[in-house]
Amino acid sequence: MKRWIAFLSIFAKDMRAYYLKPPNVSWGIIFPLAWTGMFFIRSGTGLENILELLPGVVTISILFGTTSLLSVTLTFERRNRSFERLLLAPISLELLMLAKTSGAILFGIVNAFIPVVIAAFLADMSGIAWSLFVPAIILIGIVSTFLGLFISVSASEVFEAQTFSNFFRFPMIFLCGLFFPVMSLPIFIRPLSFILPVTYGVDILHGAVNGEHILSFTLDFIILGAFCAVLFLLSLRNVKRRWIV
């Protein structure tokens, strides 16, 4: 019980101090709106095609929603030594890092549903397989957050974390099948797509929305889950190695 009081307090503190701040809330709403509008206008198609864009816009909203703040706040807390407070608390490092990431995961998931709500007013969404769509959003939220965690524990300065996260995020927009099918990419680039976790989440979303997917859903979920575990464990190892010296 004591551990869960600590967990919930870290989660609530981060939500209040970082994620629910007006600039971040407005960023969380405006960013997915801007992406939806941009791709909708750029595609030059009618409203009926909005569902084709939905998996990409949802994913980009999660990706930027989760990684933008987490990488900055963690690096900042480490710089001003407030992260030491958490390291001194009698909770395991695993639970501590889960608490630190849960706010970002929730923020990413909420961001994901903004384009979904917009699409609900513009298109018929009765064909979406929600039992695949929702778990995929949650898993993309988790894997993106853990990617952000991995980045932030590898950086020493806030600007390093930001640069490092852009290094991952922008290529993923083009490589992970968000707006361009992976199979349409040049054959020598495709292996890169399959080493990026987001590809598997987007594949599920495309399958859930449009019925088009490359791999079986089971395999997509397993690989996404494995990426979550590996990124989390690597981040923990980096915290122990780099932050407890």
Partner 1 sequence: MYQIQKDRTVKSDNSPAINVANLTKKYGEVVAVNDISFQVGNGELFGFLGPNGAGKTTTINLLTGLARLDAGTIKIGGIDCTGNPKAAQHLVGTVPDESNLYPELTGFENLCFCAALYGIRKSERQQRAQELLDIFGLTDAAHRKFAGYSKGMKRKLTFAAGIIHQPPILFLDEPTTGIDVGSARQVRKIIADLHRKGTTIFLTTHYIEEAERLCERIAFIVKGKIVKIDGTNELLQPVKGKNILILSVSNSEPDVTKGMASSFPQYRFEPAAPNQILVESPEPVNIGPLTRFLEERGIQVTEARRHLPSLEDVFVQVTGIEAELMRKDKERAGGGGNQ
Interface residue list for partner 1 (CB under 8 A): 1-3, 5-6, 8-10, 13, 17, 80-82, 84-93, 244-245
CB of 88 to partner 1, least distance (A): 5
Q: Please, which residue, 9 or 216, has the CB nearer to partner 1?
A: 9
Q: Which of 193, 206, 196 is nearest to 143 (CA)?
A: 196
- At closest approach, how far in Å is the CB of 237 from partner 1? 13
CB nearer partner 1, residue 89 or residue 215? 89
Q: Which residues contact 85 (CB under 8 A, 6 or more apart)?
A: none
CA distances from 100 to 91, 149, 198 (A): 12, 9, 21
Q: Cβ of 116: how many Cβ atoms within 10 Å?
A: 18
Minimum distance, C-beta of residue 126 to partner 1, in the bound complex (Å): 44
Nearer to partner 1, 78 or 213 (CB): 78
Distance of alpha carbon 171 from alpha carbon 151, whole angstroms: 15
Pick 42 or 240: Cβ nearer partner 1: 240
Structure tokens of 78?
A: 């480490």
What six digits make up the tokens of 95? 């639970």
Query: In angstroms, what is the minimal distance from the CB of 81 to partner 1?
Result: 4
d(Cα 179, Cα 187) in Å, to the nearest integer? Answer: 17
Whichever of 86 and 185 has its CB closer to partner 1, that residue is 86
Q: Evaluate whether 169 touches 67 at the Cβ level (below 8 Å).
A: yes
Angle between helix 198-210 and 217-238 (nearest 10): 150
**Cβ 205 to partner 1 shortest distance, Å:** 35
Nearer to partner 1, 41 or 85 (CB): 85
Radius of gyration of the chain (CA): 18
State the CB neighbour count (10 A cutoff) for residue 75: 24
Minimum CB–partner distance for residue 79 and partner 1 (Å): 11
Whose Cβ is closer to partner 1: residue 49's or residue 92's? 92
Q: Report the nearest approach of partner 1 to the CB of residue 66 (Å).
A: 20
d(CA 203, CA 211) in angstroms, rounded, equals 10
